[in-house]
């Protein structure tokens, strides 16, 4: 499935990570006043994170969702159940939490597709 022109990246992350991506030019507020990012702070509830994830996965203009692994752990059940190729959900590190590949849903699925003999 090819990604159509005009698709965007969504971000669910801490303030510093979102700021970096917004400064890089990915920020957008569409005609319906919907943002393509959620800044997760101490006051952010798990329900708010879940709602943002569901909205981003159902928006036709979102091709990739970047989510910090720390935030992803809060909604692991939703991320694990997302199997559509688009939008792709990519877990990224944050400055406070290093990336742990053993928790990444996409890597777990990829490892399950290949046997250890495929890498010999």
- Locate the domains of the chain by residue range: 8-111
Higher-pLDDT residue of 32 and 71 is 71
Q: Tell me the per-residue pLDDT of 65-97, one tens digit each, with 9 for 90 and over.
A: 999 999 999 999 999 999 899 999 999 998 887
> pLDDT band at residue 30, thresholds of 50, 70 and 90?
confident
> pLDDT band at residue 31, thresholds of 50, 70 and 90?
confident
| Per-residue CA distances from 49 to 19, 100, 107, 110 (Å) | 17, 20, 22, 25
CATH of domain 8-111: 3.40.50.10580
> pLDDT band at residue 110, thresholds of 50, 70 and 90?
low
Contacts (Cβ under 8 Å, ≥6 apart) of 41: 14, 15
Q: What is the pLDDT of residue 2?
A: 53
């Amino acid at each position: 499935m090819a990604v159509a022109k005009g698709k965007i990246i969504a971000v669910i992350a801490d303030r510093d990570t979102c700021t970096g991506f917004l400064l890089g030019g990915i920020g957008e507020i569409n005609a319906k006043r919907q943002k393509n990012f959620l800044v997760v702070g101490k006051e952010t509830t798990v329900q708010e994170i879940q709602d943002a994830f569901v909205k981003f996965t159902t928006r036709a203009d979102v091709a990739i969702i970047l989510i910090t692994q720390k935030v992803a752990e809060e909604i692991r059940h939703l991320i694990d159940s997302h199997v559509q190729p688009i939008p792709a959900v990519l877990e990224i590190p944050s400055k406070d939490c290093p990336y742990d590949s053993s928790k990444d849903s996409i890597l777990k699925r990829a490892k399950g597709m290949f046997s250890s003999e495929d890498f010999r």
